[in-house]
Amino acid sequence: MTMSARDRLIVGLDLPTVAEAEKIVSTLGDSVDFYKIGYQLAFAGGLEFARDLAASGRKVFLDMKLLDIDNTVAKGVENIAKMGVSMLTLHAYPKAMKAAVEAARGSGLCLLGVTVLTSMDEQDVIDAGYEYDPHTLVLRRAEQARAAGMGGIVCSAEEAAAVRKIIGTDMALVTPGIRPAGADKGDQKRVMTPADALRAGSSHLVVARPVVQAAEPLTAARAILAEMESALSG
Q: Which residues are annotated as a binding site?
A: 14, 36, 63-72, 118, 179, 188, 208-209
Provide CB contacts within 8 A for 226, sequence distance 6+. 5
Please confirm, yes or no, whether 65 is among the known catalytic residues.
Answer: yes
Active-site choice (7, 33, 52, 68): 68
The reply to whether 63 belongs to the active site is yes
Question: Residue 165 CA to chain centroid, in angstroms?
Answer: 19
Tell me how long the chain is.
234
* Cβ atoms of residues 42 and 13 within 8 Å: no
Q: Is 67 helix (H, G, I), strand (E, B) or coil?
A: coil
Q: Which one of the listed residues 33, 52, 65, 189 is annotated catalytic?
A: 65
Active site residue 68: yes
User: Would you list which residues are annotated within the binding site for substrate?
Assistant: 14, 36, 63-72, 118, 179, 188, 208-209
CA distances 68 to 28, 60, 90, 221, 230, Å, are 36, 23, 10, 35, 41
What residues act catalytically? 63, 65, 68
